[in-house]
Amino acid sequence: MAPVVESSTQPWVEKYRPRQVKDVAHQEEVVRVLTNTLETANCPHMLFYGPPGTGKTTTALAIAHQLFGPELYKSRVLELNASDDRGINVVRTKIKDFAAVAVGSNNRQGGYPCPSFKIIILDEADSMTEDAQNALRRTMETYSKVTRFFFICNYISRIIEPLASRCAKFRFKPLSEEVMSNRILHICNEEGINLGGESGARLFGSTITSRDLLDVSGSRRLIQVSIQLFDIVVEAGDDITDNQKAKICKCLAKTDKQLVDGADEYLQLLDVASNTIRALSEMSEDF
């Protein structure tokens, strides 16, 4: 059979995502403990917490793949990510229905342990309501023999104690600049890219500059205007009231968020201009 060729449009974040726990970078203690756990294939409920981008979701997915392999993964693992509703209704229906179904006894397939439980991965679990977390606690108690829960969050303080106390907790450390740089350089080497500070290789080919990155973002003009306007507002002193400064800065922050979400640059530029004029026109009201 011919080897499967991955699409060239596959995002690099997926293409180079670690496939095994041992490949997760800069989390030595977490990797050590989980590697030992995988040898027994007897996983407890787990809670992964720490800053964004440190490997929490990658680790949870790697564990599930290493336990079940490609054949059983879809039937044994339920993933709920940030785009899913994690209110109490989902806990009572989708999660409960999946957790309640028992699976066969431990039976290795294709070299994978395939233990006799399922896994539910709840990404950004700290965004769940308290009512939903309480309902989830009862579901965990009822179906713990046939289902394991992997909670992923940035802030462990937002997970209710009855849930957190039932999990093995793993703290993920922030990644150092050296670790991130080495990983980026590894990807560049694999892709044949000559990196020049920042990256936009999809559009600019093999040599990339910081200026190219602003081009690929589609918002260089607005970025320049926003920076200049921010500097003017900050240095304006008593010529602009604090209330007016706050309104203008709030508009700039909102515009930055809209650009990240893919909004049109020209329309956002008009919005910044109109809101700035409106804020400055209110000068007489603020005195």
Residue 283 reports pLDDT greater than 60:
no
Q: In what order do the strands lie in the sheet with 46-49?
A: 77-80, 118-122, 147-153, 46-49, 168-171
* Six-digit token string for 199: 């990256």
> What would the mean pLDDT of 257-277 be, rounded to a whole number?
79
Q: Quick count: other Cβ atoms within 10 Å of Cβ 57?
A: 20
Residue-wise pLDDT tens digits, 94-107: 888 999 888 876 56
Q: Could you please report the per-residue DSSP string of the chain?
A: -PPPPPPTTS-HHHHTS-SSGGG-TT-HHHHHHHHHHHHHT----EEEESSTTSSHHHHHHHHHHHHHHHHHHHHHEEEE-TTS--SHHHIIIIIHHHHH---PPP--BTTB---S-EEEEETTGGGS-HHHHHHHHHHHHHHTTTEEEEEEES-GGGS-HHHHTTSEEEEPPPPPHHHHHHHHHHHHHHHT-EEBSB--HHHHTTEE-HHHHHHHHT-HHHHHHHHHHHHHHHHTGGGS-HHHHHHHHHHHHHHHHHHHTT--HHHHHHHHHHHHHHHHHTHHHH-
Domain spans, the chain? 12-175, 177-217, 219-287
- Indicate the pLDDT class of residue 215, thresholds 50, 70 and 90: low
Between 265-281 and 242-260, two packed helices, what is the crossing angle to 10 degrees?
170
Residue-wise pLDDT tens digits, 145-162: 899 999 999 999 999 999
CATH of domain 12-175: 3.40.50.300
- Indicate the pLDDT class of residue 30, thresholds 50, 70 and 90: very high
- Indicate the pLDDT class of residue 214, thresholds 50, 70 and 90: low
Which residue bears the tokens 């949870």? Answer: 60
pLDDT at residue number 222 = 59
